[in-house]
Amino acid sequence: MLDWSWAEERLAAARNYWVVTSAEGGAPAAAPVWGVWLDGAVHFGTNPRSRKGRNLAHDPRAVIHLESGDEVVILHGQVERVPLEEAVADAYEAKYDYRPEAPEFLRLRPRRAVAWTESDFPTTATRFDFDS
């Protein structure tokens, strides 16, 4: 079993996060985004008119996962629109050398997460459940 700190280290270090959403008809859509792991959540931005922006307006449930298939972290939860906090903008700028200036950002606090390492699967397969 993996410790949650193992997953958080990978979430914080990730350059890209894959966001999976659903369209009105149920069709899945996946897209990579820049983001930051801060205060127990992934914070990211998107244009509200983009496919993922429109999908999230229709259904805020989402899955976010990292790029690695060797060290896997997958988050399940609901995305919410929140004001862009200074701490999030600072972390984003430190990570990407780009400061977001949108009035709103998106945040996913996981309700459930799964993680594993491919080299030790299934002995490392771990599920984390969080209070909503």
Q: What is the model's pLDDT at position 11?
A: 98
Q: Which residue matches tokens 């859509």?
A: 29
* SS3 state at 25: coil
Please state the domain extents for the chain.
4-129
pLDDT at 111 over 80: yes
Tokens of 51: 């496919």
DSSP 69: S
- Using the CB atoms, write b or e for 7-39: b if 16+ within 10 Å: beebbeebeebebbbbeeeeeeeeeebbbbbbe
pLDDT in tens, 13-58: 999 999 999 999 999 999 999 999 999 999 999 999 999 999 999 9
Per-residue confidence band for 132, with pLDDT thresholds at 50, 70 and 90: low
DSSP 24: T
The answer for residues whose C-beta is within 8 angstroms of residue 118's C-beta and 6 or more apart is 69, 70, 71, 72
Domain 4-129 falls under CATH 2.30.110.10: yes
